[in-house]
Structure 1
């Protein structure tokens, strides 16, 4: 029963992923051999870019929620001082504060949670393709090509680190898998570290939210590092490219729209001041008033002669 429920949930993802994957494969097959590892690896990278581009609205929501969490940390600490003796009341007041601010402490996990079913679907797609089984629009012929595609000519992208341990395993697969696991772990750590070091104010580095961020900083890389030894090469490529996308996306947002009171905001202010100085604009200096031109009177123009008022005959006789 649970297998049928899981298949029903994963079936739409298989179709979506396979459509994008096969579409990129047809594109790259125009210049590369269809059964080459390069064509399929580039297709996986293309799939990653499409998925991450589709998740940009969710990323923007995550950034806004994270910023709101940072800004309300002083209020959270006030609640802790006020209701520290009553944990139930503290939890209730804290949730009310989160609701008023339009945020929650788990918003930073949303992109990862959304990607996990996609990640699992790609994992299953690669695993089944290595046995020649078709999923979605991936035909048996394409599934066979996908399962047997080799990176660098000798590293099948469907192989795993664990599957090649021992005497009969491939040393090349083990080496490439270790490099990709380390790259995936390092980029996961650097992504979280980038957010904490650059876009969190000093007063937000303490309290429950900061503890949650610190926990994610160290726990997530360990989880993916340990689990990565069982991931196929193709899945490791997907997750590493996804992390690199996240790093670039965060760098752009933090650089151009940092949270107030953070090191990134200070750096942006310094850049803006330097840019203004290069343009010759001194910050805070009053603008020069426009020069007023006083026109000289026209001495050649004579005033018009004033005409006498018209009078009646009786008035003229009287005068």
Structure 2
């Protein structure tokens, strides 16, 4: 375990410095108008730390969105490969990975923001857990660690307390349970938001959809079960991070949805209503009204020229004149041949 512990410290030490530096920086800012040892100043510092981390992860979020769209667009090709090589799983896997490479698609890009946050999550957990014992890491000195570890929200809810280690306090357990539920619901909602609004119908039946469904139901369960052991400060971090993700996804899905998705149809409808309010003509693919002819108009029947004699053609320059329209003859009043005498 010694060598693994050294490797873990080598990886986590830079994170301790980075996280503690951001956390202490926000704490100094909030200490200008709040009690520096109070729980509110440290809780807001955790929120500020979350915002900084999520802002730094925006490029990864953009990459995640692009990869998700590529996965959606290539689903018809993936289905063709499944039909063609469904009997040979090894060949199917090779051809599918080749398609991913050609289109620049990474099927695991949707997990990158969560995976990269896990070391930060663990580092914050360790900082807060050891701060409760007065131990500091990185920029978080011993005096600041004692202040952080003993800080309480409302004078009754320690940030270092957990649902399992609430010392019998119903207030602490209730607040921790509330944050666990909020963390679980926001985790589920962020995944559900992506599947329900920004995925076409073709993408809901392939392997990519199975991966998304797995994340949809497994991650909330994992966080719900593990959340009862997380300190309240860590629960506050993760819930704030989920709220950021929800807002970020809502903005992207609403303003730049993937083609062929419910979000894209909703955007087209909003754009049409906005154009109508401004008096701008909107080009649509609607069929022409029933009153208008669907095909080209038929030409008028051509009139045959009237036959002329040779003398008439010499007098008129050789040009035939159009025949006058024939008028129907009135029915004869004379009896037919049937009544005639021989």
TM-score range, shorter chain: 0.7 to 0.9
Q: Show the counterpart of 1:298.
A: none
Q: Show the counterpart of 1:10.
A: 12
Q: Show the counterpart of 2:256.
A: 257
The Cα offsets for residues 117-147 of structure 1, whole Å up to 9 and x where unpaired, read as 0000000000010000010011111000000
Mapped to 1, the partners of 2:213 and 2:86 lie a distance apart of: 22
User: Does residue 1:184 correspond to 2:183, yes or no?
Assistant: yes
Mapped to 1, the partners of 2:185 and 2:152 lie a distance apart of: 25
Q: Show the counterpart of 2:227.
A: 228
- Between stretches 155-164 and 260-269, larger displacement belongs to 155-164
User: Does residue 1:87 correspond to 2:89, yes or no?
Assistant: yes
Q: Show the counterpart of 1:65.
A: 67
| Mapping of residues 272-291 of structure 1, within 5 Å | 272-284=271-283
| Mapping of residues 173-212 of structure 1, within 5 Å | 173-212=172-211
Mapped to 2, the partners of 1:140 and 1:218 lie a distance apart of: 41
Mapped to 1, the partners of 2:181 and 2:248 lie a distance apart of: 21
Mapped to 2, the partners of 1:55 and 1:234 lie a distance apart of: 21
Q: Which is bigger in relative contact order (C-alpha 8 A, separation at least 6)? A: 1
Q: Show the counterpart of 1:241.
A: 240
Mapped to 2, the partners of 1:145 and 1:170 lie a distance apart of: 21
Q: Show the counterpart of 1:218.
A: 217
Q: Show the counterpart of 2:150.
A: 148
User: Does residue 1:100 correspond to 2:99, yes or no?
Assistant: no
| Mapping of residues 94-173 of structure 1, within 5 Å | 94-164=96-166, 168-173=167-172
| Cα deviation, residue 226, structure 1 | 0.5
User: Does residue 1:267 correspond to 2:266, yes or no?
Assistant: yes
Mapped to 2, the partners of 1:75 and 1:229 lie a distance apart of: 44
The Cα offsets for residues 213-263 of structure 1, whole Å up to 9 and x where unpaired, read as 111100000001101001000000000000000000000000010000000
Mapped to 2, the partners of 1:37 and 1:3 lie a distance apart of: 32
Q: Show the counterpart of 2:42.
A: 40
| Cα deviation, residue 186, structure 1 | 0.1
| Cα deviation, residue 191, structure 1 | 0.2
| Cα deviation, residue 169, structure 1 | 2.0
Mapped to 2, the partners of 1:281 and 1:193 lie a distance apart of: 35
| Cα deviation, residue 201, structure 1 | 0.3
**DSSP 3-state at the match of 2:53:** helix
| Cα deviation, residue 65, structure 1 | 0.2
Mapped to 2, the partners of 1:172 and 1:152 lie a distance apart of: 11
Mapped to 1, the partners of 2:232 and 2:187 lie a distance apart of: 17
**DSSP 3-state at the match of 2:165:** helix
Give TM-score scaled by structure 2 length: 0.82
Larger Rg: 2
Q: Unaligned 5+ residue runs, structure 2?
A: 285-342
Mapped to 2, the partners of 1:251 and 1:284 lie a distance apart of: 27
Give TM-score scaled by structure 1 length: 0.87
Q: Show the counterpart of 2:309.
A: none
Residue correspondences, number? 282
| Cα deviation, residue 75, structure 1 | 0.4
Mapped to 2, the partners of 1:273 and 1:52 lie a distance apart of: 34
**DSSP 3-state at the match of 1:146:** helix
| Cα deviation, residue 284, structure 1 | 2.7
